[in-house]
Amino acid sequence: MERQRGKEVFLGLDLGGTKLLVGEVDSSGNVLRSRRYPSAIAAGAGQTEVMASVLACTDEYLKEYLLEPGLDFKAVGMGMVGRVDSANGLWLEIQKPRMETVDVVKILSGHYKIPCGIDNDVRSGAAAEQVFGKAKDCKNFIYMNIGTGIGAAFVIDGKMLTGAHFCGGEVGHHVTDSKSGMQCACGRMGCVEALASGMGLHDRAKALRGLYPYTALVFPESGRIDGRSVFELADRGDALCEVLAQDAAKAVAETISNLLWMVDPEKIIMGGGLITDGRLMERVKKQISPMAARFLKEGIEVTGLNSDYVGLIGAAAVGMRAAAFGEGE
């Protein structure tokens, strides 16, 4: 998509565990152009090394398309995995024990000489919904992302909840079935992330595989199973996938039901790679407690934003916020 006259453009950086997406997003949330690079996180790099890689990839992108940050962009925004202090521009950790405080805003704004804002990946997704998506006119909502992992962001009275230690929204570690036999990365048994995320489905499928020798589920030699295929095969009667799908949907439904009681949102917006095809969500909706959901004004919705670019769009929304408030200059 070409740039339109009169529309500001923001440089977005979406840093995940396996990829870095660099791109241009205009003030209406349109992705004008983007390019994918490998993430240094996957190679085990520390945060300082990761940021050096981010700068190198972004510089390469700008050089390839003959772009000048001060002329072509209003601000730069970055969404990233891990624990982030967005108010002070600090990336605190990727995951335990990879903990190293890095002043990302100082690095990016100093390098590109434009305002900069950062947040973690899920809160960036919620920012995308606030600015461009289904939460434009909503002051109280939950954005929940189900993909490789599971996380959420809470917006209460128009403000993003981060928590005292910037861990607010880590709903993936909500225990839904302590007798499942599946241990979460956090050390507890039966967290929703261990049952319903892409990683959790893969680990559980491997654990149960011997009981279902005739399953049609494909187990690749390297990498994970395709989580979306679990729900497709379950709908076609595959016994292993039916167990996985049923338990995943129950875990997500119980998590949502509990969140409804705790947070009392106007709506819940669901996003992530395991949500957007609708199969998991259809099962989840059938199991959510009617009593818990009775006050929802607008219900539980699947994001209308492109799941491939929601992180990039969210990063741009974070950059817009920085430009509006003069952050990271």
- Is pLDDT above 70 for 328? no
Helix axes 104-112, 47-64, angle to 10 degrees: 30
Q: Please report which confidence band the pLDDT of residue 2 belongs to, taking 50, 70 and 90 as the band edges.
A: low
Contact 238/229 with Cβ under 8 angstroms?
no
For the chain, domain boundaries: 7-130+308-327, 138-302
φ, ψ for residue 86 (rounded to 5)? Answer: -70, -35
Contacts of 232 (CB under 8 A, 6+ apart): 279
* Termini Cα distance of the chain: 29
Res 175: pLDDT:
96
pLDDT at 156: 96
Contact 44, 24 (CB under 8 A): no
List, as one string, the DSSP characters of 258-273: HHHHHH--SEEEEEST
Average of per-residue pLDDT values in the chain: 93
**Alpha-carbon distances of 176 from 167, 198, 204, 234, 260, rounded to whole Å:** 19, 17, 15, 21, 15
Q: Token digits for 180?
A: 């499942």
What is the predicted pLDDT for the residue at 277? Answer: 85
| Polymer length in residues for the chain | 329
- Give the neighbor-by-neighbor strand order of the sheet with 267-271: 159-160, 150-156, 141-146, 267-271, 299-302
138-302 shares the fold of 7-130+308-327: yes
Say yes or no to pLDDT of 96 above 90: no
User: How far is 182 from 280, CA to CA, in rounded Å?
Assistant: 20
Give the up-direction half-sphere exposure of residue 1: CA atoms within 13 A in the CB hemisphere: 15
| CATH number of this structure's domain 7-130+308-327, picked from the four choices 3.30.420.40, 3.90.1150.10, 3.30.1490.20, 3.30.300.30 | 3.30.420.40
Look-up of token digits 């809470």: 154
CA distances from 119 to 8, 77, 79, 199, 285 (A): 21, 8, 5, 23, 30
- The confidence band for 47, taking pLDDT boundaries of 50, 70 and 90, is very high
pLDDT digits (tens, 9 = 90+) for 209-261: 999 999 999 999 988 999 999 999 999 999 999 999 999 999 999 999 999 99
Q: Which helix (H) or strand (E) holds 195?
A: helix 192-196
For range 307-315, the mean pLDDT? 95
| CATH number of the structural domain 138-302 | 3.30.420.40
Sequence-distant (≥ 6) Cβ neighbours of residue 101 within 8 angstroms: 90, 91, 92
Whole-angstrom Cα distance, residue 28 to residue 82?
27
Res. 182: pLDDT tops 70: yes
Give pTM, 2 decimals: 0.93
Bond before 97 cis per omega within 30 degrees = yes
What pLDDT score does 75 carry?
A: 96
**Residue 186 predicted with pLDDT over 80:** yes
Does pLDDT of 308 surpass 70? yes
Distance CA 151, CA 160 (A): 14
pLDDT of residue 173: 95
Dihedral (C-alpha) 328, 73, 110, 94: value to the nearest 10 degrees? 70
Looking at residue 197, the DSSP 8-state letter turns out to be S
Residue 141: pLDDT over 90 = yes
CA 206 to chain centre: 25
